[in-house]
Amino acid sequence: MKNILFLASECVPFIKTGGLADVVGTLPKIFDKREYDVRIIIPNYGCIPGKYKDKMRDITHFQMDIGDHSQYVGVKYLEYEGVTVYFIDSEFYYGGPTPYADIKWDIEKFSFFSKAALSILPVIGFRPDILHCHDWQASLVPVYLKTLFAGNPFYSGMRSIMTIHNLQFQGRWNYGHMKYSTGLPDYLFTADKMELYNDASMLKGGLVYADIITTVSNTYAYEIQTPYFGEGLDGLLQARRQSLVGIVNGIDYDIYNPERDKNLAKQYNVETMAKNRPKNKRALQKELGLPVDDKQFVLGIISRLTDQKGLDLVDAVMNDICQDGVQFIVLGTGNPHYENMFRYYQEFHPAKVSANISFSDALSHKMYAGCDAILVPSRFEPCGLTQLMALRYGALPIVRETGGLKDTVIPYNEFEQSGTGFSFANYNAHELLDTINYAKEVFCEQKDNWRAMQIRAMQMDYSWANSARKYEELYR
């Protein structure tokens, strides 16, 4: 039996701001419990819903030195869907209304989290073989393990894995505050360890000291070794490339299942798609006040509205996209510029554009089942889950060839009759527009080919089971 401990700042269903929470909350449930005992540690945020807090049980509490002061550490736990979850309790650090605040304060509270997570292990009755650390918030765990905790026999032989979900976020601040927050010795703040362009980077520390580094797609693992995608860490990642592995994320095939999805007007599977899926398209058009018309090419965006997601490309050609025969549905929040942009186009093209500047899980499911295509034109995308959900529901993805988008969407080839979507290579608005127009042409003029592509898309397997097998190989 191998003992594995996931350490992260988020985990569904307790706290979620992004895809990290889905990975941490879903993946541990998939492993073979006869071979792996996988548990999770996250902070006990004040904003975790009361229905979960009521079920938590106290294990212990103690004082821990961090920086130049001492702090209370409480430990709670509960069993959720067969997985033990531990919660690091600190009203001082985690009592606020949101999981994250300003970066300076977050650096201090996640330094505390990393040290506390190691400190509780001798008293919770669980000695992990592998510490699986996710993103910068848990990245000091490998650093503490190999430095301040190295002399303690309890921690001898523990290995660590550092998973990068998005390299852009690094827990970066000035030396002085980092030394104060972490209590780490001066020798760690050098160019070959945690120093990064006259600042200090928590994530860099984790990447230096972890035994294995993983990221969430093969292409992203390659891209982050280049200056364009490397966020200042490309040299380190090149040096550690023998220890760097890409494993594509999965999605929960029980939650995202068009055959049993209660959000849909009409459920369907591969066999009944041709008959039943159009009913979801009509219901979606009707709900959003768009003309109900099967012949319209319905294009959807379900996304955070930020620069990373390629929305400047969409902005540049939006009037060209909104031509005859196209309806455009947007769901998401983010940068006010993009929120207002989509609102403007909805006012300008009320029969063509539906701007839903909010987030609705139910509407996202209806869009996966009702849109003909889902647009993901990201500048960079470590893995991406939107295209995986789109494939599952037979909404053909239109993606830029970067990161996990390149790894998971096979571009359509009309001569070989292969592919599960459409893609473009260069970060260029006209290339995006050409690809949308090509997809629309296939939709309108090659109906049988479109339907065959939808079937291939729905038959792809991006469930967590595949990813779990690859992590198991890594753990072995």
Architecture label for domain 273-462: 3-Layer(aba) Sandwich (3.40)
Q: Six-digit token pair at 469?
A: 């097998």
Architecture label for domain 2-247: 3-Layer(aba) Sandwich (3.40)
Alpha-carbon span 89 to 78, nearest angstrom: 13
Whether the CB-CB separation of 383 and 394 falls below 8 Å is answered with no
Mean pLDDT of the chain: 96
368: helix, coil or strand? helix
Structural element, H or E, at residue 351: none
- Can you give the pTM of this predicted structure? 0.92
Look-up: residue for tokens 């996990």? 404
Domain ranges of the chain: 2-247, 273-462
- Please say if the pLDDT value at position 69 is more than 90: no
Other CB atoms within a 10 A radius of the CB of residue 51 amount to 8
Confidence band, pLDDT 50/70/90 cuts, at residue 67: confident
Q: Where are the beta strands (DSSP E) in 67-118?
A: 69-80, 83-89
Q: Could you tell me which residues are beta bridge partners of residue 132?
A: 6, 161
Cα dist from 364 to 19, 159, 178, 335, 439, whole Å: 15, 39, 40, 19, 21
273-462 and 2-247 share a CATH fold: yes
Whether the CB-CB separation of 372 and 281 falls below 8 Å is answered with yes
- Please say if the pLDDT value at position 295 is more than 90: yes
What's the one-letter identity of residue 227? P
Q: What are the start-end ranges of the H helices in 322-402? A: 336-348, 361-370, 386-393
pLDDT for position 408 = 97
Q: Could you report the per-residue pLDDT of 262-294, keeping only the tens digit for each? A: 999 999 999 999 999 999 999 999 999 999 999
Cis peptide leading into residue 13 (ω within 30°): yes
176: helix, coil or strand? helix
User: How confident is the model over 332-350, as a mean pLDDT?
Assistant: 96
Confidence band, pLDDT 50/70/90 cuts, at residue 260: very high
Confidence band, pLDDT 50/70/90 cuts, at residue 175: confident
pLDDT for position 345 = 96
